[in-house]
Structure 1
């Protein structure tokens, strides 16, 4: 039986890394094998491209190049990691996927949805996450959290309005398809956020009890 594909999304400081651990524990507790991964990255090539995309010391990168590099990494990621794991029956949980491109390049960079959607169709075919868990947080709070992690990468150095546009793009996608998106207020404490995610999984029949 083919596995399920779950993604965690949200702007910087939303708590994806913390919730990834709780989500893995929940899915494994329901008896499923889990393959965790991330974007950009997930493969040897993808991690090299991640370094380019996030390096704050590189010369400026035009939005179109950023978008194409993201999808180059994504194409390798799908072929090398995601599809083989799903075909083997594992549940794949990824820290970001294509919704991030709609948010960051489509919204934040102002490229719009059409070009992102065209690349999505070309690179992914019919592959879409079974559930997108969107950790929603206002950019000011999120960036305050992110700064505490240390040196900021190229994306984290963007202006506040960039992240506001990215957040709005995320929310539009979640509001347009509430069955496939689980919108979670990420300003709460980590345990509360994790409980809300567990409840959302159970309501969609992906795991067991809601307790």
Structure 2
């Protein structure tokens, strides 16, 4: 039997640099001979990518928090079925830019008091967590300016402004305290190469 792979998620506020760190880690592990799948949420499978456009584009009031987390959960379920779990079963390393922790915060806490409901639906429909979650911690104002400068059209959540960024940052740090065996926190307020040096060392120490 093939040994099950390893699932790493990257989390952080918008503009924290987590996507860059996920890509650098993927490139590095492939260069060392690892079989790696780099993916993202929302998205990562054809159906989930369709939902991504629905939730990341448009006006801030396009969806209620309740509708949002149902859409995100639907996307996550398709992503798991079609991308994440087949890769893990094949023994691959899966590196995912965001996973359920983002939904716990963006829809569960930052926009409404829905954390209990989000967790209940997660348990019923998803039922799994990453093996390791790397939280890139970033100053909220710096992160927001970076995120808005991307200009990729997927800026619906950035449009909520700095107050939401500050709440999200604290929320992520609180989640790291809630799940200390799964989370590691890395200071993202440094040059990219310094952040990656820490990321690489932590992940390589945990990989089977």
Structure 1 gap segments, 5+ residues each: none
**Per-residue deviation at 1:29?**
4.1
Could you say what secondary structure the match of 2:159 adopts?
Answer: coil
- Which range moves more in the overlay, 60-69 or 19-28? 19-28
Change (3 A) 1:152 1:172: same
**Per-residue deviation at 1:161?**
1.6
- Which range moves more in the overlay, 162-171 or 151-160? 151-160
Could you say what secondary structure the match of 1:32 adopts?
Answer: coil
Count of residue pairs the alignment pairs up: 205
TM-score normalised by L of structure 2: 0.92
| Residue pair 1:63, 1:111 contacting (<8 A) in 2 also | no
Q: Measure the CA separation in 2 of the matches of 1:112 and 1:185.
A: 28
> What is the aligned partner in structure 2 of residue 2 from structure 1?
4
Could you say what secondary structure the match of 1:93 adopts?
Answer: strand
Post-superposition Cα deviations, 1:88-137, rounded to whole Å, max 9, x if no partner, equal 11111111000100121112112342111111101222x21000000111
Change (3 A) 1:58 1:106: closer
Structure 1 runs (4+) greater than 6 angstroms displaced: none
Structure 2 gap segments, 5+ residues each: none
Q: Measure the CA separation in 2 of the matches of 1:140 and 1:107.
A: 20
Change (3 A) 1:59 1:146: closer
> What is the aligned partner in structure 2 of residue 179 from structure 1?
181
Superposed, 1:20-169 pairs within 5 Å as 20-57=22-59, 60-125=62-127, 127-150=128-151, 151=153, 153-169=155-171
- Which range moves more in the overlay, 73-82 or 161-170? 161-170
Change (3 A) 1:166 1:33: same
Match of 1:194 among 193, 196, 199: 196
Could you say what secondary structure the match of 1:141 adopts?
Answer: helix
| Residue pair 2:148, 2:155 contacting (<8 A) in 1 also | no
Q: Measure the CA separation in 1 of the matches of 2:197 and 2:60.
A: 40
Q: Measure the CA separation in 1 of the matches of 2:60 and 2:28.
A: 39
TM-score normalised by L of structure 1: 0.91
**Per-residue deviation at 1:152?**
5.7
RMSD: 1.7
